[in-house]
Structure 1
Amino acid sequence: MRVVSLVPSLTEAVALTLPGTLVGATDWCVHPGDLDVARVGGSKYPDLDRVRALRPDLVLLNVEENRRADADALRAAGVPVRVTYPRTVAGALTELGELLAELGAPAEPSWLRAARRAWAEPPALTPARRAVVPVWRRPWVVLGGDTFAGDVLRRLGVVNAYDDHPERYPRPTLADLRARSPELVVLPDEPYRFTADDGPEAFPGVPCALLSGRHLTWYGPSLAEAPALLADQLSRPVRAG
């Protein structure tokens, strides 16, 4: 089977589990580091002519990572697509197992079994902390409810202050963020690269946890190490100044 992946986490999952299956991936697919396949542009604006030229049996996409227009265009051209949309850790583990089996994996890979074990009883903050989770600034965008990353944090003892918001990615003002009276601000380094010098200063006096965005949002081999790594990062917040 010839597969093109437009989703970095799925690129890593397929490359490690079924070497030789991938024939194309986006420019942002940097894991595993030695991946040697044709590049087809970005996740949001892939070069569909390059994708079609690779004659894939299947193209992997994700509802949040990719555009519906590209999925529709590939289908219209007769290219089979698989669109993923995990919104919980359990859903991601199930979806990964099903996808890899369909692609020909004879058994679940060791990394997926390790991920199932790691998330069976993940370490969690005690007591749980009420938090806001910005994923962008200028303008501010935060994590709402019904999201994969939100479920990751919930399982690690983080209570999302915007979990009940009608939008999955609300765009509050900074004043509204502060008015939520968070006990913790969670700042991932993807998709916006929050750092100790860019983010905490907006929340004076509030602990800010700097998290690996890859481990917070990717659903693939990184899931196996995510609980321990994220829990450690959550336990070591920084403060402005």
Structure 2
Amino acid sequence: MQSAKSEKSVVPLTVTDQMGRRVAVPYPPRRIVSLVPSQTELLFDLGLGDRVVGVTKFCIHPAAAREKAAVIGGTKNFDFAKIDALRPDLILGNKEENYREGIEQLAVKYPVWLSDIATLDDALRMIRQVGMVAGTPERARQMADDIAASFAELPVTAPPHTAAYFIWRKPYMVAAAGTFIDELLQRAGFANAFAGQARYPEVTAEQLAAAAPATIFLSSEPYPFGARHLAEFQASCPNASVQIVDGELFSWYGSRLQYSAAYLKSLIPAD
């Protein structure tokens, strides 16, 4: 006969994810598969690393994540057989980072909670909700509150400095309106030079020169921009400040946000 404690452990908690989907999760979940690197790091930082049984090959933080958990493929190509073998009782995904067909296939068998993040408020809500559904609500709430407080202390520049944020080369691609990166640029007092475009448009060197941003940020990910690329952007915008920046601190919307505000402050040009 099951004890009252073991029976209680399998009572489902029905929650609504950030896509508006109702998801019934055995509470607390014991076998979690994370399909998103930033959410994997969040789980570990919430003290839930021992419950994470599956991660993607891109889940590089913490370093032990891919050693302690099984690697179930990439963010857009899941190994369904490996996931089935893990018998997850919760899968965490994301609308943008994962692919709809794969998520739909998993949702037939397992509780799949999806995040959908474009703003800092979305990210803070995700942190609190993941903490709630995974069983560490107080720790998650405190983390989210601390992150919010750190961003509230960022100075506001008037007028804002114009900036272009590049995520890819050949073709050039930038983070434009409607992206989490654009949100963080605005939080740091930068006006996106490509705010008139949406998401991640391709741009030419001529378009960059015409936009004439005061600052050009070259992200360390997904394309690994390095010092060797500075000159080609400087040629298009001789008067711009061209810098390599830590892409994780601009685009990882989990617990890494604890360090983002201080990093953004360090990038704000002196008046």
Matches within 5 A, 1:18-57: 18-35=48-65, 36-57=68-89
> Which residue of 1 is the match for residue 209 of structure 2?
178
Matches within 5 A, 1:96-107: 96-107=127-138
Counterparts of 2:56 and 2:174, CA distance in 1: 26
**Identity percentage over the alignment?**
33
Deviation at 1:233, TM superposition (A): 3.6
Deviation at 1:235, TM superposition (A): 4.0
Counterparts of 1:175 and 1:146, CA distance in 2: 23
SS of structure 2 residue aligned to 1:209: strand
> Which residue of 2 is the match for residue 13 of structure 1?
42
Q: Which runs of 4+ in 1 moved over 6 A?
A: none
Task: Decide whether aligned partners of structure 1 residues 177 and 196 sit closer, same or farther in structure 2, where only a CA change above 3 A counts.
Answer: same
Matches within 5 A, 1:9-158: 9-17=38-46, 18-35=48-65, 36-76=68-108, 78-109=109-140, 110-123=142-155, 127-158=159-190
Counterparts of 1:188 and 1:124, CA distance in 2: 23
Amino acid aligned to 2:33: V
RMSD: 1.8
CA deviations over 1:41-97 (Å, ceiling 9, x no partner):
111212122112211112111122111111111123x12211111110111101210
Which structure 1 segments of 5+ residues have no match?
237-241
> Which residue of 1 is the match for residue 244 of structure 2?
210
Amino acid aligned to 1:32: P
> Which residue of 2 is the match for residue 239 of structure 1?
none
Counterparts of 1:199 and 1:138, CA distance in 2: 15
Amino acid aligned to 1:14: L
SS of structure 2 residue aligned to 1:30: coil
CA deviations over 1:177-222 (Å, ceiling 9, x no partner):
2211211111110111112211442232121122110000001111
SS of structure 1 residue aligned to 2:183: helix
Task: Decide whether aligned partners of structure 1 residues 201 and 227 sit closer, same or farther in structure 2, where only a CA change above 3 A counts.
Answer: same
Counterparts of 1:142 and 1:197, CA distance in 2: 19
SS of structure 1 residue aligned to 2:139: coil
Q: Point out the structure with the larger helix share.
A: 2
Counterparts of 1:65 and 1:198, CA distance in 2: 26
Which structure 2 segments of 5+ residues have no match?
1-28
TM (norm. structure 2) is 0.81
Q: Do the aligned residues in 1 keep the contact of 2:118 with 2:180 (CA within 8 Å)?
A: yes
